[in-house]
């Protein structure tokens, strides 16, 4: 009488094939999520920079902080009349999170209006996130 089932060699071959497929697919999936976060970072930086530029165009100076672009209540009365915001809105009235770090740790210079990511490391293109 013959037994039904798989031999050890057949099982090992299937495991090796599954491992090879995983080695091909997993890096592609990981790269796609990183590309998506990098794309979100570029879009968020563009929104933040646009908000600061609009504030500067209306008020005549760059905002002191994120509250300036989101609400006018704490601005001096002379500036409140020129304020046309909010220039940036979020559900929680806080600046958006950096898609790379997951924190609200933007590097902002109110003298020049320069806004950069505080993320360390390099992008898939080889650029430093902090240089974007």
User: 3-class DSSP state for residue 14?
Assistant: helix
Q: What is the DSSP string of 46-97?
A: HHHHHHHHHHHHHHSS--SSHHHHH--TTS-HHHHTT----SS--TTSSPPP
For residue 32, the model assigns a pLDDT of 83
84 within some domain:
yes
Three-point CA angle 108, 57, 106, nearest 5°: 15
113 within some domain:
yes
Task: Tell me how many domains the chain contains.
Answer: 1
3 within some domain:
no
For residue 50, the model assigns a pLDDT of 95
Q: 72-97: per-residue pLDDT in tens?
A: 887 888 888 888 889 999 898 899 99
Q: 2-53: per-residue pLDDT in tens?
A: 777 788 899 999 999 999 998 888 877 777 888 999 999 999 999 999 999 9
47 within some domain:
yes
Give the domain extent around 37.
10-131
Distance, CA of 132 to CA of 123 (rounded, Å):
10
Give yes or no for residue 101 having a pLDDT over 90: yes
Q: What is the pTM of this model?
A: 0.74
5 within some domain:
no
C-alpha atoms less than 13 angstroms from C-alpha of 17 in its C-beta half-sphere:
6
């Amino acid at each position: 009488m013959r037994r039904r089932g798989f031999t050890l060699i057949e099982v090992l071959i299937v495991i090796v094939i599954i491992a090879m497929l995983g080695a091909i697919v997993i890096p592609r999936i990981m790269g796609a999520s990183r590309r998506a976060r990098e794309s979100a970072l570029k879009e968020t930086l563009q929104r933040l920079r646009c908000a600061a530029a609009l504030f500067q165009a209306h008020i005549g100076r760059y905002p002191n902080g994120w509250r300036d672009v989101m609400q006018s209540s704490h601005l001096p009365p002379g500036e409140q009349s020129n304020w046309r915001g909010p220039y940036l809105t979020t559900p929680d009235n806080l600046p958006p999170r950096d898609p790379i770090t997951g924190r609200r740790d933007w590097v902002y210079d109110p003298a020049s209006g320069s806004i950069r990511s505080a993320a360390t490391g390099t992008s898939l293109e080889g650029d430093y996130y902090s240089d974007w």
